[in-house]
């Protein structure tokens, strides 16, 4: 009996010791957990402060970068304006030189024209003194293409001579155009249907400055430049279509 009580007491003691050990272990674990969470939160707070400091520094760097960009842009703009001013200056100098050259040429032309006019006046006076009124002074006239400020170039003169004909309305003629070629030289000859129809329609022909006749349809006569050949009718003496066509071909 005493031995049983001894074993029971020993078992109870072991159970108490184990229970105490488990309780102490759980308490230490809870304390460790609390310590770990606090440490992590502290580290997070420190990291947040560092991030805030970095953000402030980044904002300062951003402001500095923008200031540098503005400076670079201003310098670039100033450089571009300086280059443009330099180019404009060169252009102004060139324009001034051209203006000076033009004025010199104009002065030279005016002097030549004045000298030629003086020579003509002197020749006229000498001719009047001698009683000779049949002399021509056209040879003493200066070249109009050089002296006259409003002189036209050959191309301009050609266009101005052709301009009056553009106002004449051309009507399609009754007949056909026959193309005849001799080697590589091809010409178109107009052949009317009948001379009676030609005369009845009162067709006219424009004789251009180079002598080429251009047949027109029945239109009202248009006043042309006095320096050019006037409008004229085809010869009514022709009695056949062949004669009229021959006359047109000769004019063409």
What is this structure's pTM?
Answer: 0.30
CA distance 77 to 67: 15
CA distance 124 to 143: 19
Strand residues in the chain grouped as ranges (E): 175-182, 185-192, 204-207, 213-216, 231-233
- Summarize the confidence of residues 154-170 as an average pLDDT: 41
Question: Mean pLDDT for the chain?
Answer: 67
pLDDT band for position 108 (50/70/90)?
very high
24 found inside a domain: no
Q: What residues contact 224, with CB distance under 8 A and at least 6 apart?
A: 164, 165, 206, 230, 231
Same domain, yes or no: 118 and 40: yes
Higher pLDDT, 89 or 223: 89
6 found inside a domain: no
Q: How many residues does the chain have?
A: 252
pLDDT band for position 170 (50/70/90)?
very low
The DSSP result for 39-70, as a single string, is HHHHHHHHHHHHHHHHHHHHHHHHHHHHHHHH
Cα Rg for the chain, rounded, in angstroms? 57
Same domain, yes or no: 135 and 46: yes
28 found inside a domain: no
Same domain, yes or no: 40 and 146: yes
Whether the Cβ atoms of residue 204 and residue 234 lie closer than 8 Å to each other: yes
Same domain, yes or no: 140 and 179: no
Whether the Cβ atoms of residue 231 and residue 224 lie closer than 8 Å to each other: yes
Higher pLDDT, 27 or 15: 15
Other beta carbons within 10 Å of 119: 14
159 found inside a domain: no
Out of 83, 118, 151, a domain closes at: 151
13 found inside a domain: no
Which one, of 162, 213, 164, lies nearest residue 187 by Cα?
213
Same domain, yes or no: 145 and 173: no
On the 0-12 / 13-18 / 19+ scale of CB atoms within 10 A, 184 is exposed
10 found inside a domain: no
49 found inside a domain: yes
Range of the structural domain that residue 136 is part of:
36-151
Alpha helices in 131-147 (DSSP H): 144-147
Out of 151, 184, 209, a domain closes at: 151
Same domain, yes or no: 216 and 130: no
The helix (run of H) or strand (run of E) holding residue 15 is helix 2-130
Domain tally, the chain: 2
Same domain, yes or no: 225 and 126: no
pLDDT tens-digit series, residues 44-98 = 889 999 999 999 999 999 999 999 999 999 999 999 999 999 999 999 999 999 9
Same domain, yes or no: 235 and 139: no
Same domain, yes or no: 147 and 181: no
Out of 118, 151, 184, a domain closes at: 151
> Is residue 12 helix, strand or coil?
helix
Same domain, yes or no: 175 and 78: no
Q: What residues contact 219, with CB distance under 8 A and at least 6 apart?
A: 168, 169, 170, 171, 204
> What's the sign of the alpha-carbon dihedral 37, 42, 48, 51?
negative
Same domain, yes or no: 46 and 145: yes
pLDDT band for position 23 (50/70/90)?
low
173 found inside a domain: yes
Same domain, yes or no: 144 and 237: no
- The tokens of 246 are what? 């021959």
């Amino acid at each position: 009996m005493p031995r049983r009580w001894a074993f029971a007491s020993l078992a109870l003691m072991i159970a108490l010791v184990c229970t105490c050990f488990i309780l102490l272990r759980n308490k230490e674990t809870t304390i460790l957990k609390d310590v770990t969470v606090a440490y992590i939160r502290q580290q997070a707070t420190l990291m947040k402060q560092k991030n805030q400091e970095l953000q402030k520094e980044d904002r300062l760097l951003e402001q500095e970068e923008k200031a540098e960009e503005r400076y670079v842009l201003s310098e670039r703009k100033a450089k571009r304006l300086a280059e443009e001013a330099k180019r404009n200056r060169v252009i102004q100098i060139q324009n001034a030189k051209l203006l000076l050259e033009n004025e010199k040429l104009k002065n030279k032309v005016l002097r030549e024209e004045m000298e030629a006019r003086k020579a003509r006046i002197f020749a006229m006076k000498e001719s009047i003194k001698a009683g000779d009124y049949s002399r021509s002074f056209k040879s003493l006239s200066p070249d109009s293409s050089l002296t006259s400020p409003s002189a036209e170039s050959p191309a301009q003169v050609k266009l101005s001579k052709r301009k009056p004909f553009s106002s004449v309305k051309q009507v399609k003629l009754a007949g056909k155009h026959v193309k005849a070629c001799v080697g590589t030289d091809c010409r178109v000859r107009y052949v009317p249907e009948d001379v009676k129809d030609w005369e009845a329609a009162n067709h006219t022909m424009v004789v251009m400055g180079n002598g080429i006749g251009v047949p027109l349809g029945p239109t009202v006569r248009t006043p042309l430049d006095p320096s050019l050949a006037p409008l004229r009718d085809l010869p009514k003496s022709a009695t056949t279509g062949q004669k009229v066509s021959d006359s047109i071909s000769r004019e063409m």
